[in-house]
Amino acid sequence: MHRIRSVRFRTASLLVLVAVWLLAADARTSAAAGEAPGSTTTLPAPGANAAVAAPYVSLGMALVRAVDTRFVDGADSGHAALYGGEELFDAGALDDGLRFHLAAGVRFPYRLRAQVEFGVARSLEWRGNTNYQASGERQPSEARLDTRQLLLAGFHDFPGWELAPGRRARPYLGAGIGITRYRLSGYVQRFPEPDNPRGSLRRGPGGEVPFTALPGGSGENLTWMLTAGVAMPIADNVGLDLSYRYTDAGRLRTDIGDIAIVRFRADGTRREIRVPINETSADFRAHSLLATLRFEF
């Protein structure tokens, strides 16, 4: 089922991108066809109040840094709560990671733009620290996060300043809304330094650290973003966009299911206990620096 939904998500994303570009290209072609024979047409300067919509595509990469957050108990589904109180949680953040960015858009009169954009980030590393009682100061946790994001965004370009004759750097502001699909996996909490090294969190005979493995999670969240950037021309009809973004992608949730509690007995033997728990959840907000190449037609 997960694979089927993933294929549908990718297919829908590509269809939307292609449709936006074709509609914009058709509008420009139709306008050009109405000109007098023998006339010449050039693309309007970026941001000008041109009468013809100009399509474009852009691609690039974003450096993503998540806002510090914490996993806490989620909705009660009738099972045990993992943390059992507001004072207990798993606090941390995602390591810096990269997100691939693809967009298709249209530049309108009055320095307005709209685009549909698709972003993919894989194997972002979550690192945190839980604060269970009597488990020591250091209780490191880890997980992996994959995301796919589909947004509809709008921008307003400002006049900017001249870099060279006929070339201007143009700042812009923008906002967008859409959907983020995520998959959380490999979520493990470890206990290398318990308060009592000979107690229930003792190590195994080979120095193995006791741990608790949580269920993974996946879902789709309503997402919004705000951005500010600057576009700089680097060649005819080719520009470099540099921007900062703040994105709120809702909450990450682990599935309702069994946790695997792995401990070691006094004689060194390993034991594993499975306990069904409610979901846990954490806010998913991020800062990012985005660099893209924009190709206008």
What are the pLDDT digits (tens) for 119-147?
999 999 999 999 999 999 999 999 999 99
Q: Is the confidence at residue 169, as pLDDT, over 60?
A: yes
Q: How confident is the model at residue 10 (pLDDT cuts 50, 70, 90)?
A: very low
Residue 114 has a pLDDT of 98
Q: How confident is the model at residue 103 (pLDDT cuts 50, 70, 90)?
A: very high
Say which CATH topology domain 2-33+43-296 has: Porin (2.40.160)
- Residue 163's pLDDT is 82
Residue type, 152: L
User: pLDDT averaged over the chain?
Assistant: 86
Q: Which two tokens stand for residue 39?
A: 């006339």
Q: Which residue has 């914490």 as its token pair?
A: 70
* Higher-confidence position of 36 and 255: 255
When pLDDT is averaged across residues 266-290 and rounded to a whole number, the result is 96
Residue 96 in 3-state DSSP? coil
Please state, in angstroms and rounded to a whole number, the distance separating the CA atoms of residues 212 and 285. Answer: 26
pLDDT at 50 over 70: no
d(CA 148, CA 167): 35
Using an 8 Å Cβ cutoff, are 156 and 114 in contact? Answer: no
Q: What is the mean pLDDT of residues 226-254?
A: 95
**Over 60: is that where the pLDDT of 91 sits?**
yes
What's the whole-number mean pLDDT along residues 70-86? Answer: 95
Mean pLDDT of 39-52: 44
Whether pLDDT at 73 is above 60: yes
Query: What is this structure's pTM?
Result: 0.79
Distance between alpha carbon 18 and the CA centroid of its chain, in Å?
22
Range from 11-15, 47-51, 61-65, 269-273 carrying the lowest mean pLDDT: 11-15
What is the distance between the alpha carbons of residues 216 and 214, in angstroms, rounded to a whole number?
6
Percentage of the chain with pLDDT > 90? 76
Rounded to whole angstroms, the Cα distance separating 118 from 136 reads 42
Residue 51 banded pLDDT, cuts 50, 70, 90 = low
Residue with tokens 């974003």: 62
pLDDT over threshold 90, residue 48: no
For residue 242, the model assigns a pLDDT of 97
Residue 17 has pLDDT above 90, yes or no: no
